[in-house]
Amino acid sequence: MWRKIIKDKEFTSSMTKIAVPVMLQSLITSSLNTLDTFMITKLGTNSIAGVGLANQIFFFYSFILFGINTGASILFAQFYGANELDRVKKTLNYSLKFSIAVSIIFNILAYFIPEYLISLFTNDAAVIAEGAKYMRVVSLSYIVTGMSFAIGIAMRSTGNARSPFIASFVSFFVNAFFNYCFIFGKFGFPALGVKGAAVGTIFARFTECFVLIYVIRRYRGPLYAKVKDLFSIDKDFRKYFVRVVTPVTIEETLWSLAQVVYGAIYAKIGVEATAAIQVAQAISNMLYVIARGVSSASAVIIGMKIGENKLERAHDMALKSLTVGFSSGVLLGSILIFIPHIFLMVFPDLTPGVRESARLALMAFGLTYPFRMYNSVSIVGVFRGGGDVKYSMFLELFCSWFVGIPCAAIGVVFFRVPLWGALLLSSIDEVVKLAIGTPRILKKKWIKRLA
């Protein structure tokens, strides 16, 4: 298969053009989280755990946004492939509206009841206090975050992966500078601790949104529209948009809720485990950017081929994308298994207990990487890119709620397994996803024309 991939210049060119900027953007986004974690480690274990649990709520919120806009990306890719630019703009119209509406709801909840939200994960008063301080401030960035999600995914889905990368690149340095200033009180700024990390995030999110809007207004590409057009109402298209996007949004919402439940399960192991999983996930997410890049690129190129009515070519690209995803998982998983300590060197202030727990967690992640990366490409790239959103929803939710969560909960509650054991148990669902999803891909039942 790799020989065919290398010889397929159209596939490699399209994949590289979209995947590399997405990988770099995802790497920067993951680096933001790693940077926050790195700086906050200097404030102590309670701060690490508190901010980590606060980010579980953001994680839940961001995946609702991801669901809305990934669903929209199916329409973007197929409409753009069919050269139906009016419908591309209508899709952006409604993806922005729904993203902003969700952002307002989470903004209100995170600002007014952060203590309650953090208490869903832990009873530790010190951890709750640290997490609530961070969440109340960072919630002020949620609305522009929703706008950036909608615009960034729309750009990638219409072939412009470069601009979202540039926006993330700029916001990374903005975040790093203001984090340093406000966490530790440098250059005359007040030392705000965990609140300072939230302030740095606010500056970064506003910068990212501004850059994306500037690019659209300045270069007037396929997404350019007058402001009044973005607030126009087309009831028929709205119904169509909701019908396509709803299954993906439900899937991402319930899947992200499952990840929140996982976080609560891991928190039952103890404060050290809660801190360790934040560090391990920050490192793991930086390597996992390859899966995000390949998945996003697959969804776009497959969707465009279906929009062009080249169905056999879409299937061929799907198989090649899955090969790239699985092979990348084997390579990166091996790195995490054999040299996890290398990555932990950037966190010198961890306690010995947290460091050892994080090391074992990284090794557990490494064992699951081939399956996780394959499934990421199959669900996000193939099923969604091909318009098979209902099956994608079934596969993701069934495996998470009826396989992964029960296995992890039983292991922690009844057998008192350590963090690494809980991670391996929770990953049994990845094996099941691969076994159930692959036959449908091979039978080509996932190809659905929407344009």
- Are residues 204 and 337 both part of a single domain? no
| Domain C-terminal end among 233, 260, 283 | 233
DSSP 399: H
Ranges under pLDDT 50 in the chain? none
The full DSSP string for 18-65 is HHHHHHHHHHHHHHHHHHHHHHHGGG-HHHHHHHHHHHHHHHHHHHHH
- In a domain, residue 299? The reply is yes
- Are residues 229 and 256 both part of a single domain? no
Q: How far apart are CA 26 and CA 330, in angstroms?
A: 20
Structure tokens at 134: 């961070």
- In a domain, residue 310? The reply is yes
- In a domain, residue 50? The reply is yes
- In a domain, residue 208? The reply is yes
- Are residues 197 and 284 both part of a single domain? no
- Are residues 411 and 267 both part of a single domain? yes
Q: How far apart are CA 73 and CA 71, in angstroms?
A: 5
- In a domain, residue 441? The reply is yes
pLDDT at 219 (0 to 100): 81
- Are residues 353 and 391 both part of a single domain? yes
Q: How far apart are CA 187 and CA 184, in angstroms?
A: 10
- Are residues 183 and 263 both part of a single domain? no
Helix/strand number for the chain, H first, E second: 20, 0
Model confidence over 194-243: pLDDT tens digits? 899 999 999 999 999 999 999 988 887 788 777 776 677 788 888 989 99
CA 300, 304, 309, 311 dihedral sign is negative
- Are residues 207 and 251 both part of a single domain? no
pLDDT at 372 (0 to 100): 95
- In a domain, residue 256? The reply is yes
| Domain C-terminal end among 189, 211, 233 | 233
- Are residues 210 and 286 both part of a single domain? no
- Are residues 155 and 283 both part of a single domain? no
- Are residues 418 and 371 both part of a single domain? yes
- In a domain, residue 240? The reply is no
pLDDT at 440 (0 to 100): 96
Query: What b/e readout covers 78-111, taking b as 16+ CB neighbours within 10 angstroms?
Result: bbbbbebbebbbbbbbbbbbbbbebbeebbebbe
Q: Look up the domain containing 46 and give its range.
A: 1-233
| Domain C-terminal end among 202, 233, 264 | 233
**What total of structural domains would you count in the chain?**
2
pLDDT at 33 (0 to 100): 63
- Are residues 61 and 167 both part of a single domain? yes
At which residue do the structure tokens 């099941």 appear? 432
- Are residues 181 and 271 both part of a single domain? no
- In a domain, residue 145? The reply is yes
